[in-house]
A and B are shown apart, each in its own frame.
Chain A
């Protein structure tokens, strides 16, 4: 598959059809497009990079397997994938229910271009956000991650979570309020009062 630069990039729909027809380039392109989203959501929802990696790989495997049955135009491929990721995350959470995730073990990336103190502060902020996210009920956390980390619209989130748009608005509002409350007492610690 070689697409001239002047043509618009093929849609996920089209790539999935090409994949089902045996196009190897379509497999690579879909992997590059969709895996970061699947992995990113799974990391935020699970708080565990190793489990998120497994979830992303399994979700993509399910995408490959269902590709011959895909009906282009009916739904977005990304919507289908997010839904599978969230369901896999829920399965994992059910399996490990009763045990707290070891969030302190979650390695947070530090930008090597920044100073040590700034880097630590960024890392502290990201860690604080992740810990606060993990305190939210599952559905609230899912909605907040999709809205504020993936920047999806409420109707898209409603489609993924299979709830009404109003329910999404309610979940994200409550989730955001809980997060703000959890982080409110740590403003100085997280470096927000430096300026």
Chain B
């Protein structure tokens, strides 16, 4: 093999590079279609992953809330207590004052600690 020493050898090579560049451009049949299909499959995966992340995020917040309160039994007790509170507010037992009358005033008179007797005793001493 002789050494490439002349400008002619390099000019020929540059010409060959240029010819080869121009002759290229034929792509294998179906390659574009397969690559686009791959891309669309990957995009579908992104969308599914994003949806799963969103769902997991929601579940995580609710689970965290329940855990902070002490779990499902505590949550059940809390719900029962709330319901009892509401019921007592609406229909108090007979030994408790009616909150509606206390707030709004009314004719009902109550002396839970014997205030009248205390005032009379103090007046007699004084």
Contact = CB atoms under 8 A, between A and B. Distances in A.
Interface in B1-29: 1-4, 9-10, 12-17, 19-21, 23-28
B13 A179 contact: yes
Contact of B4 (A27, A30, A49, A181): A181
Interface stretch (B41-49, B67-75, B79-87, B90-98): B41-49
Interface in B84-124: none
Nearest to A123: B23
Interface residues of B, number: 33
B32 A32 contact: yes
Contacts of A179: 13
Given A40-B24, A129-B20, A35 B3 contact: no
Interface in A59-78: 60-61, 64-65, 67-68
* Secondary structure dominating the interface of A: helix
Interface string A153-178: 00000000000000000000000110
A32 B35 CA distance: 10
A148 B20 CA distance: 10
Contacts of B42: 61, 64-65, 67
A183 B27 contact: no
A193 to B, nearest CB: 10
Contact of A27 (B16, B20, B43): B43
B27 A39 contact: yes
Interface string A133-156: 000000000000000110100000
Interface string A18-33: 0110101001101110
A126 B20 contact: yes
A109 B10 CA distance: 24
Nearest to A177: B4
Given A27-B40, A32-B32, A181-B2, A125 B19 contact: yes
A149 B13 CA distance: 12
A115 to B, nearest CB: 15
Interface in A82-132: 109, 111, 122, 125-126, 128-129
Contacts of A27: 36, 39-40, 43
Interface of A: 19-20, 22, 24, 27-28, 30-32, 35-36, 39-40, 49, 53, 56-57, 60-61, 64-65, 67-68, 109, 111, 122, 125-126, 128-129, 148-149, 151, 176-177, 179-185, 187, 190, 192
Interface of B: 1-4, 9-10, 12-17, 19-21, 23-28, 31-32, 34-36, 38-40, 42-43, 46-47
5 contacts: A19-B43, A22-B46, A61-B35, A126-B20, A149-B24
**Nearest 3 A-B pairs (CB), nearest first?**
A180-B4, A27-B39, A64-B42
Given A32-B32, A180-B13, 13 more contacts: A19-B39, A40-B24, A53-B28, A64-B39, A64-B43, A125-B19, A129-B17, A149-B17, A180-B4, A180-B9, A180-B10, A183-B9, A184-B9
